[in-house]
Amino acid sequence: MGSQGAQQGVRDVSGERGVRGVRGGRSALCTAVLLCATGLLGGTATAAQRTPAPTPSPDADARHLDEVRKEIEGLYRTAERATEEYNAAEEQVQLQQKKIVELARTIDTAQRRLAVLKRQAGALASAQYRTGGIPPELKLVLNADPGAFLAGADLTRKGQQAVKGVIGQLTHLKTDLEGYADDASHRWERLEANRKKKDAARKEINDKIDAAKTLESRLATKEKARLRKLEDDQALLAQQKWLDSGALKEITGKASEQGKKAISYATSQIGKDYVWGAVGPDTFDCSGLTLQSWQAAGRTIPRTSQEQWRQLPRVALKDMRPGDLVIYFSDASHVGLYVGDGAIVHAPRPGRQVTVAGAGSMPILGVVRPDGERTG
């Protein structure tokens, strides 16, 4: 498709939605003003009523809508950042729960072993009591039979080793149990901390999404169409600037076999709704889509965009190839899967669907390769 193909693809996404609606709105407004001026809306209107209200200039109207766009975009960006924090906390909660269950099983096994050792120690103590409590060493000294003395010495040594072994095992096992209990306690504390972090992130996500939806709901239908076009135009402008930089000319890499599988999965999800915290199969958030795409290719990658950026091998932008993940914004809060020709597939935000977009339509932080080799 090349750079022109990528530009055309983004133009197709932006389209011309809302143009006819805006023109119709202006025509209706002009008609209403004319009717008021001629008295056809009420013959007894006062002079003030007969004077038409000033019509906002197109420039002022455009500035207002752009301010609304920026505010909505900011709210969704904050929600997306909180979504990735929620995803990370959720992953940690599941990990800690699994570890606590494993520790509980280990503690149960250790306690059973401890009970066995205590019974053995009790049996040894009872045997000593039945012999009158005379130390085995003294009994050997009092034995006049040399053969019996030697046999008794061997038995005594084995008995002493058995006692020491039981006591040693009891001591080590008690120490291990204390360690397991401390570990379980610390993990429980971290579990609770992550749960609180997750709840806080969930509240922030819902608050920001609700605020953005409320702000958007105040717009008239025609304004919503214009807002969508404005968003698309801004993305197109950023993409064009990226293409004009010559970045795409340097990108000539070919997809690996696993990369092709990841692309196939991602593109087959186009049209499905964005839902925060979702990992498919019916809805996705941005990192949920990349996670499942590479899972379908046979690679397990980190859950969140931040961890994908932190843990996966990084490659230079000029070395990017289809299947790589493009990480966006300085906080690594968004991610898309590069499909070639300057385009990505991504799950944008609430209220939008999985779609194709220009790889340069958002500020690029860097590129990572799920099937690459780590260096250093």
Q: For residue range 148-181, list pLDDT tens digits in order.
A: 544 554 555 555 566 666 677 777 777 877 887 8
pLDDT reported for residue 48: 40
Q: Where are the beta strands (DSSP E) in the chain?
A: 314-315, 325-328, 334-340, 343-346, 355-358, 364-368
Percent of the chain at pLDDT > 90 equals 40
Q: Report the range out of 142-151, 176-185, 187-196 with the highest average pLDDT.
A: 187-196
- For residue 39, give both structure tokens: 């008295």
pLDDT reported for residue 50: 44
The SS3 of residue 164 is: helix
Query: CA–CA separation, 324 vs 312, rounded Å?
Result: 10
Q: For residue range 322-352, list pLDDT tens digits in order.
A: 999 999 999 999 999 999 999 999 999 998 9
Q: pTM here?
A: 0.64
**Residue 143 scores a pLDDT above 80:** no
- Of residues 143 and 323, the one with the higher pLDDT is 323
Q: Comparing 189-198, 206-215, 278-287, 321-330, which segment has the lowest mean pLDDT?
A: 189-198
DSSP states of 91-159: HHHHHHHHHHHHHHHHHHHHHHHHHHHHHHHHHHHHHHHHTTT--HHHHHHH---HHHHHHHHHHHHHH
pLDDT reported for residue 270: 98
pLDDT reported for residue 338: 98
pLDDT reported for residue 59: 63
Domains located in the chain, CATH noted: 2-44+219-368 (3.90.1720.10), 82-210 (1.10.287)
Catalytic site residues? 286, 334, 346
- At 135, the pLDDT band (50, 70, 90 cuts) reads low
- At 187, the pLDDT band (50, 70, 90 cuts) reads confident
Bridge partners, residue 334, by sequence: 328
The predicted model gives 309-332 an average pLDDT of 97
Long-range contacts of residues 117-121, Cβ cutoff 8 Å, at least 24 apart: 117/166, 117/169, 117/170, 117/173, 118/170, 120/166, 121/166, 121/167, 121/170
**Residue 28 scores a pLDDT above 80:** no
pLDDT reported for residue 159: 53
- Of residues 198 and 33, the one with the higher pLDDT is 198
The predicted model gives 358-375 an average pLDDT of 92
Q: For residue range 267-282, list pLDDT tens digits in order.
A: 999 999 999 999 999 9
- The rounded mean pLDDT for the chain is 78
**Residue 4 scores a pLDDT above 70:** no
260-295 exposure pattern, b = at least 16 Cβ within 10 A, e = fewer: ebbbebbeebeebebbbbbbbeebbbbbbbbbbbbb
pLDDT reported for residue 234: 93
pLDDT reported for residue 208: 92
pLDDT reported for residue 20: 31
Q: For residue range 250-270, list pLDDT tens digits in order.
A: 899 999 999 999 999 999 999
